[in-house]
A = this chain, B = another copy of it.
């Protein structure tokens, strides 16, 4: 009982309990489809609650819903509390093992759930979970009849897309959300340098941001990285209504942020500018008003498994990002693979394989696959590595111009732009097509 820890070797024959959530309230037990969420780097209950789309369409499709947790996250820990203890225990944290887990689970469900034997299964996921959905269809087309890969940056790997596109999109989101907004953020880095040149300045800045721990000179890079990640996260969750994904936020949060950053850049002082920046950051960190101080060591929900994801980035998920300060509003920073590799080695004792994702998942050359929808949000920085054009009749792209990170996977909302509504309609249309195809192709017996 349980799923094998190592699908690709036979020395380690231990098993572990993989968590998955099932809802069959609307399921047509006579072979109705299964919508299978391919869990990503976090607690599956959180993804379950943030994937309302599946709940919204279950009745129309007569579908069973399954949300499968990714190994090494949430409660699905192959070695319990030791899972993260060293490189030896982390060795089975790979996307290939996770895909095999999903395949084994789906086959097990079909074998054991009465009525599910011939149920067509559709993989659904967002972000890394979306990459897994697409890859599950690519690698195990016998297990899933199709995949919806929402905001899945399957091309954000070395030599596939320009490393600067990601931050360009972040910048565009701020540029379009308020006058001078990106310009003032671009100027803020120098203002931080200017002000923190003195101890008084450091103290002022710590107070202005209500930081939980006052800044030291040596914290400055970390502080800037924290701010940069704040803007990135805002770009990811720039939803058209109040929501709580990475943080509780107002509707169109970047517009709210930008209200604090509208100064004329030619006349604003460094102090005024950083005052605005601190107000802006508070929109993200303290929308509820319950946050007594800002903590620069975290930027988002605790539901995500940061260490696990870091390990994955340090092994397979090598995603180059870079900034130039011209096409984006950040300080220039090249992609430095060697430095990254060294950091990985000192943290985890492993080194990333820059080419592996391209080899194993096909890179730009995915035309021979079928039944995959890649949906992308025009506001989402991860659309930089997404598939945004049709590859074939059955590997198709949907772009939702005013959508942020996998908006289409969220519950219907009265504030949804019409573009996301039509995206969802189209997605369901493809689902039905795949289900019909699958029933026709079914092997007798």
Contacts of A90 on B, CB cut-off 8 Å?
11
The answer to the question of A24 belonging to the interface, with a C-beta cut-off of 8 Å to chain B, is: no
Q: A13-B350, A107-B355, A441-B367 are known contacts. Are A362 and B142 too (CB-CB below 8 A)? A: yes
Tell me if A11 and B141 are in contact (CB < 8 A): no
Whole-angstrom distance between the alpha carbons of A365 and B4 in the complex? 23
Residue of B nearest to A445 (CB): B364
Contact of A351 among B10, B350, B370 (CB under 8 A): B10
Contact of A10 among B13, B350, B364, B366 (CB under 8 A): B350
User: Shortest beta-carbon distance, A238 to chain B, in Å?
Assistant: 32
The answer to the question of A114 belonging to the interface, with a C-beta cut-off of 8 Å to chain B, is: no
Chain B binder among A91-99, A169-177, A399-407 = A91-99
The answer to the question of A256 belonging to the interface, with a C-beta cut-off of 8 Å to chain B, is: no
Q: A107-B359, A142-B365 are known contacts. Are A96 and B441 too (CB-CB below 8 A)? A: no
Q: A141-B368, A441-B367, A443-B365 are known contacts. Are A10 and B315 too (CB-CB below 8 A)? A: yes
Whole-angstrom distance between the alpha carbons of A142 and B358 in the complex? 9
Contacts of A11 on B, CB cut-off 8 Å?
87-88, 90-91, 350
Tell me if B10 and A91 are in contact (CB < 8 A): yes
Whole-angstrom distance between the alpha carbons of A257 and B369 in the complex? 49
Number of copies: 2
How many chain-A residues does the 8 Å CB contact rule pick out? Answer: 44
Contacts of A411 on B, CB cut-off 8 Å?
none
Contacts of A139 on B, CB cut-off 8 Å?
139
Contacts of A367 on B, CB cut-off 8 Å?
441
Contacts of A140 on B, CB cut-off 8 Å?
359-360, 362
The answer to the question of A7 belonging to the interface, with a C-beta cut-off of 8 Å to chain B, is: yes
Tell me if A103 and B141 are in contact (CB < 8 A): no
Whole-angstrom distance between the alpha carbons of A391 and B18 in the complex? 35
**Pairs across A and B, CB under 8 Å, 5 listed:** A8-B94, A107-B355, A365-B443, A368-B370, A368-B371
Closest 5 CB pairs of A and B: A142-B362, A141-B368, A142-B365, A10-B350, A11-B91
